[in-house]
């Protein structure tokens, strides 16, 4: 899966940005994969929580925000500040294929 400088290889469980590997924990990898599969579409926090942790997840909903923050920082650092991951206030999250 390719979106500009970001390449996600499911089989190798590897993400590269400008050809450099981006080491992600399992849940961050799955989150990025889900966002990239649905690129340019806003995904609700509930959809992401259900998809990643299951519909019966009873943990802290802030867990998603923490994972997004960590993933965003790593991705932006490697992408030279380009912002692929955006928060749409009160709606959800989006992987933008044409980052700002």
- Structure confidence by residue, pLDDT tens digits, 31-88: 999 999 999 999 999 999 999 999 888 778 789 999 999 999 999 988 888 889 999 9
In 3D space, the residue among 12, 24, 35, 4 whose CA is nearest the CA of residue 100 turns out to be 4
**pTM for the structure as a whole:** 0.91
Reading the block at residue 84, the tokens are 């692929």
**What's residue 20's pLDDT?**
94
Note the helical H segments in 1-100: 26-37, 45-53, 62-78
At the topology level, CATH places domain 2-95 in: Arc Repressor Mutant, subunit A (1.10.10)
What is the distance between the alpha carbons of residues 14 and 23, in angstroms, rounded to a whole number?
A: 7
What is the average pLDDT across 15-44?
95
Please report, for the chain, the start and end positions of each structural domain, with discontinuous segments joined by +.
Answer: 2-95
CA angle 56, 60, 62 (to 5 degrees): 125
């Amino acid at each position: 899966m390719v979106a500009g400088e970001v390449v996600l290889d499911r089989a190798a469980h590897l993400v590269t940005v400008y050809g450099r590997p981006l080491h992600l924990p399992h849940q961050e990898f799955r989150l990025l994969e889900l966002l990239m599969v649905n690129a340019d579409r806003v995904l609700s926090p509930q959809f992401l929580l259900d998809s990643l942790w299951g519909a019966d997840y009873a943990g802290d909903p802030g867990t998603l925000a923490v994972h997004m923050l960590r993933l965003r920082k790593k991705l932006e650092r490697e992408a030279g500040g380009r912002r692929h991951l955006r928060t749409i206030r009160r709606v959800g999250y989006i992987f933008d294929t044409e980052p700002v």
